[in-house]
Amino acid sequence: MTNGIIDRFRTMAIAKVSVLTGHVLGAMIQTALALAMVFAVAFLLGLGTAASMMQWCGLVGLLGLVSFAMTWFTVALGLASPNPVTASNWPMIFVLLPFVGSGFVPVASMPAGLRWFAEHQPFTPLMDTFRGLLAGTPDGSDGLWAVGWCVVIGCGGYLWARRLYRTRAAR
């Protein structure tokens, strides 16, 4: 948003949201390549899983959905930020959320206040669904919550980014 290229895009006969959509699709491709590398290294190191082909498809689909949702939300955070430094720091909170969820320890082992937060944040059902899919024993309710969180975050991020892009473009 700070470079003149955005002003050039505004003068073109293209949909306003296409600039953001192109950015999101580029980020999705980068994420897919990074995930492929992570899985390749994991298999080389001996990752063993009881997941069926359908569960692998579910895992890949959920990873894509998480990536899509988080990318739209971080695009909105970037547009809401006053400068590029702030824009690059805002998404760091998402790096911390898995630590305050079931990513590393069972939620039941947490103190009461922390347990409540861990049970009601998006990364707990995501981590539980990922773990269940790889183990070959997914829990349906966690999967539905995980998809629901992704839809809410993705739609919210898209609508927020679209509004911010239009209002910043009008300035």
* CB 150 within 8 Å of CB 69: yes
Band (pLDDT 50/70/90 cuts) for residue 70 is: very high
The pLDDT of 7-20, averaged and rounded, is 72
Band (pLDDT 50/70/90 cuts) for residue 2 is: low
* CB 72 within 8 Å of CB 158: yes
pLDDT at position 169 over 60: no
Q: Which position has the token pair 């009601």?
A: 120
* CB 79 within 8 Å of CB 158: no
Helix (H, G, I), strand (E, B), or coil: what is residue 46?
coil
Q: Give domain limits for the chain.
A: 5-170
Among 57, 5, 13, 27, smallest CA distance to 157 is for 27
Among 12, 6, 5, 4, smallest CA distance to 164 is for 6
Enter the pTM of the model: 0.85
Mean pLDDT lowest for which of 18-32, 89-103, 107-121? 89-103
pLDDT score at 9: 66
Q: Which position has the token pair 């183990």?
A: 135
